[in-house]
């Protein structure tokens, strides 16, 4: 699971934005290891018994629809004749009409014209909701609207039926999964940070978070399925550690509003979503 590939990302996406040179090295490592990228839809079709896959398939996913997919990711995929799946938050798109604009993108986003070019280059695109809402936490009417607007815009503007979906933040529950299924999507991606298995079902593809700090030896081990559980346990601890450091620094800074209310004794703020299968997809 990727989000952004940029040399100099803004702070909001920094932790999940991979340097372009490292991304290129990761693609080369996949090829060298004999892995073949396939679109998520092909994996879903295989799981449903209607398609064959290469011997060692891997699905490369990109969430949110940042503009760097067009400038940094696409050329590196095309150069190597590799494919991927891109999940777009329709209300975030750069040229969304005034009535369609929704949510707050964390960085520059793709345009509809670029999405057409990306699809023409053999990249699968799919839905990632309309405003990037946490779908397990919204009212039923909002859930329906988030899915319908996303699906209808993608189908109308790109002229093909929607196939695959990706839950914003990876959050889903039985209600969300049922709504995605009845909206016509054949499969959906979660996060989970474990290897994908058929028993997770087509509406709960587990993915591995690739972060800016994921170095090449680690990447090679993860895609080979080695030490995945151990890595993400350590990764979670490290993320939590950094969060404490950030909060501590903030509390010790010269800002009177913060120093007036020390947070040192309060400890880390409890995560509102502690379930490990629901890792937030932005820092």
The footprint of Zn ion (CB under 5 A) covers: 63-64, 168, 281
CB of 146 to Zn ion, least distance (A): 13
- As a whole number of angstroms, the distance between CA 190 and CA 178 comes to 14
Task: In angstroms, give the least distance from the CB of 282 to Zn ion.
Answer: 7
Residue 145 or 251 with smaller CB distance to Zn ion: 145
**Complex with Zn ion: residue 63 or 146, whichever CB lies closer:** 63
CB of 128 to Zn ion, least distance (A): 6
How far, in Å, CA of 231 to CA of 221, rounded? 10
Strands, DSSP E only, in 96-167? 124-127, 164-166
Contacts of residue 152, Cβ cutoff 8 Å, sequence gap at least 6: none
For residues 64 and 124, which CB has a smaller minimum distance to Zn ion in the complex?
64
Which two three-digit tokens encode residue 137?
A: 């936490």
Asked whether the beta carbons of 31 and 37 are under 8 A apart, the reply is no
Cβ contacts of 273 within 8 Å, gap of 6 or more: 169, 171, 280
User: Of 181 and 282, which CB lies nearer to Zn ion in the complex structure?
Assistant: 282
Distance CA 225, CA 215 (A): 15
Least distance to Zn ion from the beta carbon of 179, Å? 18
CB of 55 to Zn ion, least distance (A): 31
| Nearest CB to Zn ion, comparing residues 45 and 206 | 206
Q: Within 65-129, where are the H helices? A: 68, 74-79, 112-120
């Amino acid at each position: 699971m990727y989000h952004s590939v940029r040399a100099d990302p803004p702070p909001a996406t920094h932790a999940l934005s991979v340097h372009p040179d490292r991304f290129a090295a990761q693609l080369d490592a996949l090829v060298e290891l004999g892995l073949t990228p396939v679109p998520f839809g092909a994996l879903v079709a295989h799981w449903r018994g209607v398609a064959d896959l290469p011997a060692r398939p891997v699905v490369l996913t990109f969430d949110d629809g940042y503009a760097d997919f067009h400038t940094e990711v696409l050329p590196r995929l095309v150069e190597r004749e590799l494919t991927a799946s891109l999940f777009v938050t329709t209300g975030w798109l750069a040229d969304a009409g005034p009535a369609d604009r929704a949510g707050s993108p964390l960085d520059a986003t793709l345009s509809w014209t670029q999405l057409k070019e990306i699809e023409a280059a053999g990249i699968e695109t799919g839905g990632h909701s309309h405003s990037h809402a946490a779908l397990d936490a919204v009212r039923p009417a909002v859930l329906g609207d988030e899915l319908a607007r996303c699906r209808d815009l993608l189908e109308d503007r790109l002229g093909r039926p929607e196939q695959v979906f990706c839950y914003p933040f990876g959050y889903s529950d039985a209600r969300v999964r049922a709504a995605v299924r009845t909206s016509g999507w054949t499969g959906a991606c979660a996060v989970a940070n474990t290897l994908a298995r058929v028993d997770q079902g087509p509406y709960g593809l587990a993915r591995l978070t690739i972060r800016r700090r994921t170095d090449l030896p680690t990447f090679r081990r993860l895609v080979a399925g080695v030490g995945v559980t151990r890595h993400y346990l350590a990764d979670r601890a490290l993320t939590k550690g950094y969060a404490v450091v950030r909060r501590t620094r903030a509390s010790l800074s010269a800002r009177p509003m913060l120093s007036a209310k020390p947070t040192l004794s309060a400890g880390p703020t409890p995560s509102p979503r502690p379930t490990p299968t629901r890792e937030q997809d932005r820092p």
